[in-house]
Amino acid sequence: MLGSRAAGFARGLRSVALASLPGWRGRSFALARATGAPHGGDLQPSACPGPRGRQLSLSAAAVVNSAPRPLQPYLRLMRLDKPIGTWLLYLPCTWSIGLAAEPGCFPDWYMLSLFGTGAILMRGAGCTINDMWDQDYDKKVTRTASRPIAAGDISTFQSFVFLGGQLTLALGVLLCLNYYSIALGAGSLLLVITYPLMKRITYWPQLALGLTFNWGALLGWSAIKGSCDPSVCLPLYFSGVMWTLIYDTIYAHQDKRDDVLIGLKSTALRFGENTKLWLSGFSVAMLGALSLVGVNSGQTAPYYAALGAVGAHLTHQIYTLDIHRPEDCWNKFISNRTLGLIVFLGIVLGNLWKEKKTDKTKKSIENKIEN
């Protein structure tokens, strides 16, 4: 027995010695063998003690992966592991809520949290509907073949029941708003159900997505004010639609080869090599509409400074875009979260700046009265 232990110890030392040699490609495997690990890939620092030895991470994907296994397919069906879509749905809501705030005040935090919850639920519902419609197409595309319905992890009936649960919870959020907003929010349901079909009908499915994803630009204002102001809400909604055409066209370039093979349409296929020219036009339209929003809502210097930063971001994004590299398209696509946050920050700071101008005006009037 002692002899076998000694032999095992000697083999371990030999493995470590080989692993320390320069250029030794099996280094991690040798170290794993020396320490008794079953696979080289398992040699990772454990963030906390325990039998599973998972790394501690706060990323959305890690949270989904750490959830109970039966729950994971449903979380992936909602795309909780890829929150960028939720951000892009939520940000136009924040713009509208921020613009509706009283001069000198921060946006309504309750409404921001309420709309954040609604964005998670409605984005999840939209993804569920999309995957139910597209399960046969998803099986033929490398990037989407692992989606829960396409992969057979969830049945169509299970996804339908899950969709009902998400929509019920979303209705509960909607019922927290005023009657005008409830009616306005209910009006978006038809868009949510039908936009996944547009890629089979038209080369402009991104336009349908824009009309759907930016409904919050109308709803956020009405939730605060009780109704929509067309002079602010309509150009804000239009700017959001233009923004969606920008980022989702970039996104669609990832799948254009598969789309051609299976007969789906997109603006990426429609624009082709002229994509950058079209995106530039959408960017000008977006910035023009946001400028009109600023004028009609009495925005101040920080807001227009933010629009300058947005213009610079869009210019860099489009100029450096390589539509033939899916990785670059993905990176450009997710960078739009930063763009949306810049707009929101500009709205908040611009609104706070109004208080300073108002105070100065009041003091000026008081001085004139005293004199």
Dist. CA 283–CA 290, nearest whole Å:
11
Let me know if residue 310 belongs to a domain: yes
Tokens of 282: 């959408």
Domain of residue 84, CATH code: 1.10.357.140
Let me know if residue 5 belongs to a domain: no
Dist. CA 253–CA 260, nearest whole Å:
11
pLDDT digits (tens, 9 = 90+) for 220-276: 999 999 999 999 999 999 999 999 999 999 999 998 998 898 899 999 999 999 999
- What per-residue confidence (pLDDT) applies to 180? 97
Please count the other Cβ atoms lying within 10 Å of the Cβ belonging to residue 198.
Answer: 20
Please name the residues in contact with 73: beta carbons below 8 A apart, sequence gap of 6 or more: 148, 153, 154
Let me know if residue 17 belongs to a domain: no
pLDDT digits (tens, 9 = 90+) for 135-153: 888 888 878 888 999 988 9
Dist. CA 27–CA 19, nearest whole Å:
4
Domain that holds residue 240: 67-356
Let me know if residue 22 belongs to a domain: no
The three-state DSSP-derived secondary structure of 228-285 is CCHHHHHHHHHHHHHHHHHHHHHHHCCCHHHHHHHCCCCHHHHHHHHHHHHHHHHHHH
Let me know if residue 207 belongs to a domain: yes
- The parts of the chain modelled with pLDDT lower than 70 are 1-58, 356-371
Dist. CA 279–CA 243, nearest whole Å:
9
Contact of 130 with 196, CB cutoff 8 Å = yes
- What per-residue confidence (pLDDT) applies to 58? 67
Let me know if residue 38 belongs to a domain: no
Region of 186 (left: φ > 0; alpha: ψ -120 to 50; beta: rest) is: alpha
Let me know if residue 361 belongs to a domain: no
Please count the other Cβ atoms lying within 10 Å of the Cβ belonging to residue 259.
Answer: 19
- What per-residue confidence (pLDDT) applies to 145? 86
Let me know if residue 307 belongs to a domain: yes
Stated as kind and residue range, the H or E segment containing 338 is helix 336-370
- What per-residue confidence (pLDDT) applies to 52? 43
Please name the residues in contact with 149: beta carbons below 8 A apart, sequence gap of 6 or more: 77, 131, 132, 135, 138, 155, 156, 159
Residue 225, burial from CB neighbour count under 10 angstroms (0-12, 13-18, 19+): middle
User: How many domains would you assign to the chain?
Assistant: 1
DSSP category for residue 370? H
- What per-residue confidence (pLDDT) applies to 57? 55
